[in-house]
Structures are given as C-alpha cells and as structure tokens.
Amino acid sequence: MSAAFDVATILANLGMGTMAGNLFVNRMPDTPDVCTTVYEYGGKPTDFAMGSSVAVEHASLQIAVRNTSAQAGYEAIYAMYRQLDGHMGGVVNGTTYFLMTAMQPPHKLGEDEENRTKFVFNLHVRKDRS
C-alpha cells in the first residue's frame, strides 16, 4: 500500500474518520462538507545501510481537513497532528513504519467556493521499502 493509504488507515483506526466516508486518499471529493484527505506528494532519496539490503524510504504527505466550521476544522486537524507527529509507526497494512514527523504545525490554507475552511500540515514519513 501507499504511505498515504497507510496513514489514512492509522487515522481511521484512531477513530478520526471512516475510509471512503469522510476520509480519503489523494483526492478530496465535493462532498461531504466535513472530510479529511491524505495526499502523497514525493519525499527524499531512499537511505541504504552499508553492506545491507535494508532500505528506508522517505515519503512526504499532506493531511488536509475541510470543515464548514473553522474552529471545528482546526480542532480536528490539530488532534491529527498531535497523534501523527512523533508517531513511531509499527506495522500498518504489512509495511513497517519507523517514524513520522510533522514538517510544521497545522495552518489555514483558505476557504473554497462553498465557504468551507481548509487546514493542512505536512508529514515526513520514514518506512521500510515495501
């Protein structure tokens, strides 16, 4: 699975959304008004241990929350930020995750044409090559 799908799985397991209900991967549909999307957008070069086949991949993700209430949207994304920043991972969908670190705290991205507020933060994920 992709890192985005796996992080969405973590959020779903924490009770922070329902996959394909209000929690999506790499797309934010027009509905529902209140939802979360995990986007995968690149990363850093893979680290290889000398003399070993061990490889650590570095993925970059963006967690985005859209809400009709700016306050509720911020509270939701800040709770996700607190859960994921410093997360030591474990095994998710068969892939070992070593560490997740936020690249910055959540911030407001703006409002869409329906006046729904969007908040985001970016996440650096270190994982075993799967």
Q: Provide the residue ranges of all domains of the chain, joining segments of one domain with +.
A: 3-128
Q: Which CATH class is domain 3-128?
A: alpha beta
Q: How far, in Å, CA of 65 to CA of 7, rounded?
A: 14
* Other Cβ atoms closer than 10 A to 51: 6
Residues of the chain above pLDDT 70, percent:
96
Task: List b or e across 66-95, with b for residues whose CB sees 16 or more CB atoms inside 10 angstroms.
Answer: bbeeeeebbebbeebbeebbebebeebeeb
Q: Mean pLDDT, the chain, as a whole number?
A: 94
Kindly indicate the confidence band of residue 52, based on its pLDDT and cuts at 50, 70 and 90.
Answer: low
What is the reported pTM? 0.93
- Report the pLDDT averaged over residues 49-66: 87
Q: How far, in Å, CA of 130 to CA of 123, rounded?
A: 19
